[in-house]
Amino acid sequence: MFIFLTYINTIIKMRNLDHFKFISLLIILASCGGGGGGGSADPNPIVPNVSLSFSSNLSEIYIHNKIILTWSSSNADSCSASGDWSGTKANNGSEEIVIREAKESSFILICSSSSSSVNKNITVTSISPYLYADHWDEINTYRESLKSVYENPVGINQEETWFKTFTIPQSRFTTDVTNTFIDDENFKGNVGYDTWINIGDSTFNLNCNWVPQKPNEGAIKIIELIDGVFTNFYYKEIEGCNHPLPLKNSDGSFQIVFPGHDEGKISAGLAPYATSFVFDVSSKEFFDMDIILASHGQGIFDYDLDGDDDIITTGAGWFVNDRNAAVSTKNCGEIGILQNNGFNDFNLITVPLPNDVSNPDPATNGFLPNEGCGGAMSAHAYVENNILYVTYTDFNSNPNHTNPSWIIEPEKNVVIKYDLNNLNILEVIELPIPYVEANFINLEYYQEDQNWIGGNGKSHDTHSQFLDIDYDGDKDILISNQSYWYEKSNVLQIIINDDGVYRDQTAQRLFNWNIRTGSLHHWNFSDVNGDGYLDITTTDGCGGPPSGSGLNLPRNFGCEKKVAINDGTGHFIQIIGPMEIYQIFENNEYKTGQLGAIFSLDNDKNLKWTYMTGKGCNDGCYANGDWDVFIASLDSPLSTGPNGIDPSLVGEDGYSEFFYLLNNLSARTAVESGEYENGLEHYIAVGKDQGLLPNAKSLSSIVVESYDSNPKQKIN
Ligand SMILES: [Ca+2]
Ligand SMILES: [Ca+2]
Ligand SMILES: [Ca+2]
Ligand SMILES: [Ca+2]
């Protein structure tokens, strides 16, 4: 070969030689060649050399993507491939090649003629998009230690595969800090809960609270981020409130209602009534609504189906538009609807409870037979076919009624159907027993408080919501079940509407789910990963192991701050929790915040958590009005692949890792055994050819294909 190439090179050089040298060389070559026939017999001895161009459209790709190799040669008799491809190739052509593994690939092409050859090499780098959380061992250690002190489970479906394949790595979060000034020593985030709303470029993070044992120390907090940057803080000291309620009007505008509630007054022997406020998002002003409530639990729904959000609330004992009206707390009608007629314009409608009897004498306390009311901790509602459906938790029927019309077992949660035209009660449906009461052993009533017997029960059921979580066309119900006292836990009870029969399916529908957290009083639904299914974010405080247990767990571990995605059929897996949100920030100290992390999803689907604590000190301090504002951010929007990556990076747009692993046992087993690193790899390798479903789209009825970033009260 060396001689052959030397010959070619010689020919090339000869083209520039003069005639004399050319002849001389031919003579020399002929004399050493053994050419037999005699050199002078070839009339045209110049053979053109092979030339080759060879290229790839991409030099770096994600695995499972294709490159296109293109080449053209001239004067070649044949081409052949080696390295990471092989075989005989046409002299000119192109070829698509899918690269499955993360590596550096070498594509070699040699094109040759009888007299010359060219060899070219192209290198392509293929990288894996997968990035896994690396703190399973840490989390598992905490879980195992909790197991040692509780009789009952510490979580639901917390196997390693669920954690590793879904949890968003801590490395994808960053935290920024800025400062603000609020001269209020009582500044706190609890007892209060959070939500958010996007209007224009602004994201308003919302919280309101009341303070235990202290009357009139609540406040409303509205933190405005514009393009993710802290911009404004609207603060109003009030008596108390616990659920901010952003109401959407049919014209697309919003008003944000802060229903009154102040249990701090109970310590002073007062009823927990407080004034309600509404925030005008245009003028940024607060308005007194002249509506006095003890609104502990409530929900947003559309009472009159006019497209304006309305409210149903508990604690509507003073349900009058005239704040100077006579107090009528001894009468019945603790449930009310605020029908939205425009900004700060509500029609107040009292909703009867079963077995209520109006007290004819407001001077008495209603403990006499046939006087007094039932009550409830939370309420949510929807309207369908001229029926108002209301769910009540920690429901109490009137104990003083001597001849009740409705027989309702104590300590049950209920759905009550009302005739929409006159609010007459049509039916009372008992819901399945709270999950903790049905499944846990040795639960106790709260602090041996006899008041919970027959009322709240052993499960304090603080919040409820109707939502068609499994996308089959009927409304399911979510209820927070909190067991108290020693075995303190918080379970989101999932009650599926099965052709009109409500069934508890909590255990088979929650995954990677810690129940040993602070309380669960509030959650929001929004589509955090852009697949057209509403996901859930929980919001409430932080809890720890039982006092005296001696366990040393990080404070953030027990915070009720979950982001959990819906597989499209009503199963939820936590993919982000407090250990990812609250990370070590400065001075090796993480903060959980006097105002805990408020989740928000901005218009571009970026996830953020905004929280505040006293400047330069630990949670709980007061720094003369200076506050640190922390904004934790995820580096990019979430999608539905393993650990939130976009499955289209590997060519599988629409694939849902959670749906796939949940519904295809062979895939899950293969991932658990380590045969495939995640479900998506299984799908690409074998599942797709086997016809395994990659998502729930063919199983569910969706009208809304893609949601905006605001919290939703219904799926369609
Ligand atoms: Ca309405
Ligand atoms: Ca209960
Ligand atoms: Ca349903
Ligand atoms: Ca979703």
Q: How far is the CA of 245 from the centre of ligand 1 (A)?
A: 14
Distance (Å, whole) CA 572 – CA 535: 8
Q: Are 370 and 400 in contact (CB under 8 A)?
A: yes
Kindly give the distance from the C-alpha atom of residue 320 to the centroid of ligand 1, in angstroms, as a whole number: 19
Measure 550 CA to ligand 2 centroid, in angstroms. Answer: 30
Return the higher-pLDDT residue of 14 and 45.
45
Q: How many angstroms is it from 679 CA to the middle of ligand 4?
A: 18
The rounded Å distance from CA 473 to ligand 3 centre is 5
Mean pLDDT of the region 116-121: 97
For position 530, what pLDDT does the model report?
97
C-alpha 162 to ligand 2 mean position (Å): 30
Helix (H), strand (E) at residue 578: helix 578-581
276-to-10, 318, 463 alpha-carbon distances in Å: 97, 12, 20
Q: In the prediction, which pLDDT does 700 show?
A: 86
- Vertex 532: Cα angle to 634 and 541 (nearest 5): 45
| Smallest-distance ligand from the CA of 464 | 2
Tokens encoding 260: 């009154």
The mean-pLDDT minimum among 321-325, 396-400, 637-641, 671-675 falls in 321-325
| pLDDT at residue 84 tops 50 | yes
Comparing 136-140, 291-295, 600-604, which segment has the lowest mean pLDDT?
291-295
**How many C-beta atoms lie closer than 10 Å to residue 468's C-beta?**
19
Question: Which ligand neighbours the alpha carbon of 410 most closely?
Answer: 2
What does the chain come to in residues? 716
d(CA 670, CA 364): 69
CA of 562 to the centre of ligand 2 (A): 23
Instruction: Tell me the CA–centroid distance for residue 532 and ligand 3, in Å.
Output: 16
Residues with CB under 5 A from ligand 4 (ion): 527, 529, 531, 533, 535
The band of 407, judged by pLDDT with boundaries at 50, 70 and 90, is: confident
Ligand nearest to the CA of 472: 3
362 vs 371: CA distance, rounded Å: 10
Q: How far apart are CA 308 and CA 316, in angstroms?
A: 21
Which protein residues have their CB within 5 A of the ion that is ligand 2? 394, 456-457, 459, 461
Written in H, E and C, the secondary structure of 47-96 is CCCCEEEEEECCCEEECCEEEEEEEEEECCCEEEEEECCCEEECCEEEEE
**What is the three-state SS of 532-559?**
CCCEEEEECCECCCCCCCCCCCCHHHHE
pLDDT tens-place string over residues 447-503: 766 788 888 999 999 999 999 999 999 999 999 999 988 889 999 999 999 999 999
C-alpha 175 – ligand 4 centre gap (Å): 24
- Name the closest ligand to CA 309: 1
How far does residue 423's CA lie from ligand 1's centre (Å)? Answer: 16
Q: How far apart are CA 470 and CA 333, in angstroms?
A: 34
Q: Rounded to an integer, what distance in angstroms lies between the CA atom of residue 117 and that of residue 5? A: 9
Cα-to-centroid distance, 569 and ligand 3 (Å): 9
Residue 18 has pLDDT above 80, yes or no: no
Given a cut of 60, whether residue 320 has pLDDT beyond it is no
Please identify every residue whose CB atom is under 5 Å from ligand 1, which is an ion: 302, 304, 306, 308, 310
**CA 129–ligand 4 middle distance (angstroms):** 20
Distance 418 CA to ligand 2 centre (A): 22
d(CA 221, CA 219): 6
Which ligand places an atom closest to the C-alpha of 409?
2
| Residue 318 pLDDT > 90 | no
Q: How does residue 333 score in pLDDT terms, banded at 50, 70 and 90?
A: low
Query: Residue 337 CA: which ligand is closest?
Result: 1
pLDDT in tens, 270-303: 888 999 999 999 999 999 999 999 999 999 999 9
Q: Write down the pLDDT at residue 107.
A: 98
In the reported structure, the alpha carbon of residue 155 is separated from the centroid of ligand 1 by a whole-number distance in angstroms of 38
Per-residue pLDDT, averaged over 29-51, amounts to 57
For 352-406, what is each residue's pLDDT tens digit? 888 887 656 555 555 567 777 778 999 999 999 999 999 999 998 877 788 888 8
Q: Which amino acid is at 276?
A: S
Query: Tens digit of pLDDT for each residue in 209-244?
Result: 999 999 999 999 999 999 999 999 999 999 999 999
- Pick the ligand that lies closest to the CA of residue 303: 1
Which ligand does the CA of 431 lie closest to?
2
Token pair of 138, please?
């840490």
Task: Kindly state the DSSP code that residue 687 receives in the 8-state scheme.
Answer: I
Which residues are CB-neighbours of 295 under 8 A, at least 6 positions away? 241, 242, 243, 259, 260, 261, 276, 313, 314, 315, 316
Q: What is the pLDDT of residue 32?
A: 38
Distance 525 CA to ligand 4 centre (A): 9
Q: Considering every ligand atom, which ligand is closest to the CA of 659?
A: 4
The CA distance from 527 to 640, in Å, is 11
The percentage of residues in the chain with a pLDDT greater than 90, rounded to a whole number, is 77
Average pLDDT of 127-155? Answer: 97
How many CB atoms within 10 Å of residue 46? Answer: 10
Residue 317: pLDDT band with limits 50, 70, 90: confident
Q: In what order do the strands lie in the sheet with 335-340?
A: 298-301, 310-313, 335-340, 346-351
C-alpha of residue 482 to centroid of ligand 2, in Å: 8
Mean pLDDT within 151-164: 97
Q: Count the helix, strand and coil residues of the chain and give each as a percent rounded to the nearest 5.
A: 15, 35, 45
* Cβ-contact 29, 42 below 8 angstroms: no
Compute, in angstroms, the gap from residue 565 CA to the centroid of ligand 4.
6
> What distance in angstroms lies between residue 419's CA and the mean position of ligand 1's atoms?
17
Three-class DSSP category at 437: helix
Query: Taking all residues of the chain, what is their mean pLDDT, rounded to a whole number?
Result: 90
The number of the ligand nearest the C-alpha atom of 700 reads 3
Q: Which residues of 306-458 form beta strands (DSSP E)?
A: 310-313, 335-340, 346-351, 378-384, 387-393, 414-419, 425-430
- What phi-psi label fits residue 499: left (phi over 0), alpha (psi between -120 and 50 degrees) or beta? left
Distance 393 CA to ligand 1 centre (A): 23
**Averaged over 88-96, what is the pLDDT?**
98
The answer to whether 516 and 146 are in contact (CB under 8 A) is yes
Beta bridge partners, 289, equal none
530 CA distance to ligand 4 middle (Å): 5
Highest mean predicted confidence (pLDDT) among 26-35, 309-318, 368-377, 437-446: 437-446
Ligand lying closest to the C-alpha of residue 494: 3
Check whether 307 has a pLDDT greater than 50: yes
Which band of pLDDT confidence, cut at 50, 70 and 90, is reported for residue 24?
very low
The confidence score (pLDDT) of residue 603 equals 97
Nearest to 423 by CA among 525, 354, 480, 331: 354
Q: Say whether pLDDT at 323 is over 50.
A: no
| pLDDT at residue 617, as a whole number | 83
Q: Is the pLDDT of residue 596 over 80?
A: yes
Q: Place 512 in a pLDDT band, splitting at 50, 70 and 90.
A: very high
Q: What is the mean pLDDT of residues 611-629?
A: 91
How many angstroms separate the CA atoms of 716 and 712, rounded? Answer: 9
pLDDT per residue as tens digits for the range 540-578: 999 989 888 999 999 899 999 999 999 999 999 999 999
Is pLDDT of 35 > 90? no
Q: How far apart are the first and last CA of the chain?
A: 74
DSSP state of 352: P
Could you tell me which residues are beta bridge partners of residue 107? Answer: 83, 122
571 C-alpha to center of ligand 3: Å?
Answer: 12
CATH fit for domain 51-127, picks 2.40.30.170, 2.60.40.10, 3.40.640.10, 3.30.420.10: 2.60.40.10
**The pLDDT of residue 193 is above 60:** yes
Contacts of 77 (CB under 8 A, 6+ apart): 91, 112, 113, 114
**What's the 214 CA to ligand 1 centre distance in angstroms?**
35
Query: For residue 309, how far is its CA from the centre of ligand 1 (angstroms)?
Result: 5
> What distance in angstroms lies between residue 300's CA and the mean position of ligand 3's atoms?
19
Cα of 459 to ligand 2 centre, how many Å? 4
Helix then strand count (H, E) for the chain reads 11, 39
DSSP string, 156-200: ES--HHHHHHHPPPGGGEEEEEEEEE---TT----SEEEEEEEET
Q: Give the whole-number percent of the chain exceeding pLDDT 70.
A: 89
pLDDT band with cut points at 50, 70 and 90 for residue 29 = very low
Give the Å distance between the CA of 410 and the centre of ligand 2. Answer: 9
- pLDDT tops 60 at residue 6: no
